Structure 1
Amino acid sequence: MRTIIDARNRWNNIFENHKSIESLKDVSCDDTLRSVLWRIFLLHPDADITPSTWMSRLRSERTAYAELRRHHLGDTDFEAEELDPLAEDESNPYHRHQRDLELRAEIVQDIERCMPENTFFREPSVQEDLTEILFVYCKLNRDVSYRQGFHEIAAVVYWVVVCDALADNTSGPGDSPYAGEGRAGPYVTTIAITNGDTDDTLMNGTQEGYESFEDPEDTVMKEVLDKRYINHDAFSLFQSIMRNAKAWYEVSEDGGKGGVGTIVKKSQYVHETLLVAVDPELAAHLTELDVLPQVFLIRWIRLLFCREFPFDQLLHVWDKIFSEDPDLQLVDLICVSMLLRIRWQLIEADYSTAMQLLLRYPSPPIPVNLIEDALYLRSNLNPSGGKYIIIKHSSRSPAAYQKKPPPQKQQRRPLSPTMNSLFQPGQIETIIQDAARNMIDRSEKWGVNRAVREAVVEVKKGIQGQQRIPQIPRRGTPGSPRPGSQGSQGSQGINLDNNRMQELEKKSKELEKKNKDLQMKLLEGGKGKEN
């Protein structure tokens, strides 16, 4: 928070030296009041920058937030019969209360781990204020409700408003941020001078509540920077940013089940349209590496680069974005300028190295220059514009990109005239007959037929020899079978051998017959086609 003297000097740097928004675009927020400039850029871009032209809207916004807070966070008195956990009606107060508890728990979980390196956001009062702001916003925007990432944008906005608030505002009764709620306006305090002492007196809420014997400019400044309305003003700024960023958090129409959401389409547009227009070689290289743009661009875009730059530098980036493009259309080209800055590192990278660069972006010394690059690309969206940015950051000029031809499908080569002559009418049949004859000749050459015939001859010889072997009876021994019985068993063995040999001979003949049949069919088939 600021002292009166510090705030007055910064206030004068804005309104005494500048009369238009264009002149404010080049003002350093480090020497002025960042929250006031953001309000002018985001909430009053078309109005006169003089506070008197937008003070009435400021009061209306604060009153509206107070009403929203009371409606959604006020004490709820339910009748006993209404608190029925078994009732299936979705409008049941019990179910609404449970959903609100779940929503708050989700918000608190993210806020507790928001910017862990900054001790300011570990303060319980800060976390409570951020929870309140986000809860009211989600209740007001039920179509999106809460999405992870809201807390980081709200945290930056809250920080800026707190830094510019007056540490000792003697114009108000105590520190209650909701003084006078329910009247015509939230401003209900004036300072009456009685015997040299200050006396806080409630009045009907208008800017008159801040009047005293001070400079009128100080009165307006104190009203704008009143610390009792930190949450009110932070909510107004956050809601203005989200008015354009809200679509980035919407899921696909089918609830994310295979559909393509707005943020994915936006990421593809950055890669496939904008980057291709200024650096087709880099775009093609990322495609070849199979680097999906949404993998890294979702975080860049949704968080407005919160995690890509140091916090103090991030504030400068937001200063420039809000002053040049409050609708946030420039964000796409900022992403392109960030890619062009590390262009050579990406060109030489494999998949893992490229992903590391994109997910842990190497912050430049002066990140705000990337917004200047984006503004240049907005007027020079072509390879020449991209080349200018690349040389600016690397002193290396990219070669003219030659698009690689797509891989061609293998096609059958056309037949030469010599080959065509072979396939004149009547020639197909000749080729088939020649193939059949060649098969027969090769069968004879390889000895297939001869081997079959020799196998049959050997089988026949074996059968005849087996039949001529005399049967010699064995000498009997004690306990051995009788001679008659032994002879009977020998004759049975011979019969079994004869049967096996006959079966083998039969199969050999069948094999030889099939071989001949095959040869004849090939010959007959060729003749039939020829006729």
Structure 2
Amino acid sequence: MVADATNSNTRGPLQDTEIIEQIDRDVKRTHPDMQFFNGDSSIAESNRVSVYLDIKHNFLKLVVLTSRFSLHQEAMRHILIIFAKLNPGIRYVQGMNEILAPLFYVFKNDPEPNNAVWLMKPLLCPLLLYKSLRLSYTNYIGNMSAVIHDLIYSVTFVHALKLVSSDIRKLSASEHAEADAFFCFVELLSGFRDNFCQKLDNSVVGIRSTISKLSELLKKHDGELWRHLEVTTKVNPQFYAFRWITLLLTQEFNFANCLHIWDTLLSDPEGPQETLLRICCAMLILVRRRLLAGDFTSNLKLLQNYPSTNISHLLYAASKLGGPSAS
């Protein structure tokens, strides 16, 4: 369906349209029960002129859009589309909207006006572009012209940002939310990018390898439970852990509890990857009694619909499985 992304210059309008349509569908489905994401009070104007910088041809485009998104949905849509354009090796994968949602929510609801990343880090713009390009550097091997093209674009974009920097600094932290969320989204995915690359699924750094690490962690800390799950009842950890890991537990808990978990996930000095595996392992151990009493069907249902739990206790249990972990 999608052309090989080993050369960013091979992408055409059709591929871009398919990605944007998928992003639009997923953004619409992001926490539909929360007023923040889909509130009618913030519906964007139906017709509006938008300005885009065409990466391929290096000129500005004026496009009249018809939008039925809330303002917050539209901001998330912008972030995901820009990320996909700047990262041809990953582009957009279903579920990225769920990872972006907590970041954008926190920045948009920040009451402290001086917390904007733009205000704290004047050199953020070049760093942001560099991080975005670095995510897809493997796609440029043997294609030096593509590297030069993107570097020229980056420099041009940075100069354009300098022209409006005085106006940008007048905005509050909330008004910086879209840019700040984009920076943190790029930073977060730089550590989890291999989980979203299908070509790496069976490699030593792909998602299956990560799931195997979770299996080994459970075997180390609770051999009896590991044996019952994977040997006796033959519950393959991919059946439940794939979603846990790729979506960073955003679908296993309510939004408030997800934010609590992410506080630990993003602040642990060992890094979010190792912390995530410890939390996942703790989730299994906390329901071990029910799992040991269950068969394949009941255990799979339990793990695909994880029960309500005390998040502070979960994080404490996770901290006992390895290095220091904030609770």
Instruction: State whether TM-score is above 0.5.
Output: yes
Q: What's the counterpart of residue 346 of structure 1? A: 291
Return the match for 1:359 from 286, 289, 304. 304
For 1:310, the aligned partner's letter is: N
1:228-270 deviations in Å (ceiling 9; x for gaps):
32211110111111111211112135xx7x8887111211221
Corresponding residue SS for 2:297: helix
Q: What's the counterpart of residue 106 of structure 1? A: 22
CA 1:265–1:328: 2 relative to 1, 3 Å: closer
Corresponding residue SS for 1:377: coil
The alignment covers a number of residue pairs equal to 242
User: Matches of 2:185 and 2:274 in 1, distance apart?
Assistant: 17
Return the match for 1:376 from 309, 320, 326. 320
CA 1:241–1:261: 2 relative to 1, 3 Å: closer
User: Matches of 2:163 and 2:308 in 1, distance apart?
Assistant: 45
Return the match for 1:136 from 82, 102, 118. 82
CA 1:347–1:183: 2 relative to 1, 3 Å: closer
For 2:193, the aligned partner's letter is: K
Return the match for 2:282 from 337, 340, 343. 337
1:99-141 deviations in Å (ceiling 9; x for gaps):
2222111111111111122132224222211111011111111
Q: What's the counterpart of residue 246 of structure 1? A: 193
Q: What's the counterpart of residue 239 of structure 2? A: 295
**Larger-Rg structure:** 1
CA 1:327–1:312: 2 relative to 1, 3 Å: closer
Q: What's the counterpart of residue 91 of structure 2? A: 145
Deviation at 1:379, TM superposition (A): 4.8
Aligned sequence identity (%): 28
User: Matches of 2:179 and 2:203 in 1, distance apart?
Assistant: 37
> Which protein has greater RCO, CA pairs closer than 8 Å, 6+ apart?
2
Q: What's the counterpart of residue 225 of structure 2? A: 282
User: Matches of 2:74 and 2:298 in 1, distance apart?
Assistant: 40
Q: What's the counterpart of residue 527 of structure 1? A: none
User: Matches of 2:322 and 2:282 in 1, distance apart?
Assistant: 11
Q: In 1, are the aligned partners of 2:265 and 2:272 still within 8 Å (CA)?
A: no
Can you give the 5+ residue segments of structure 1 that lack an aligned partner in the other structure?
Answer: 1-89, 168-179, 190-204, 211-222, 381-531
For 2:77, the aligned partner's letter is: T
Q: List 4+ stretches of structure 1 deviating above 3 A.
A: 225-228, 258-261
User: Matches of 1:315 and 1:141 in 2, distance apart?
Assistant: 26
Deviation at 1:181, TM superposition (A): 8.0
Q: What's the counterpart of residue 122 of structure 1? A: 38
Corresponding residue SS for 1:184: helix
For 1:234, the aligned partner's letter is: A
Q: What's the counterpart of residue 163 of structure 1? A: 109
Q: In 1, are the aligned partners of 2:203 and 2:209 still within 8 Å (CA)?
A: no
Corresponding residue SS for 2:198: coil
TM-score, normalised to structure 1, is 0.42
User: Matches of 1:226 and 1:186 in 2, distance apart?
Assistant: 17
User: Matches of 1:155 and 1:343 in 2, distance apart?
Assistant: 31
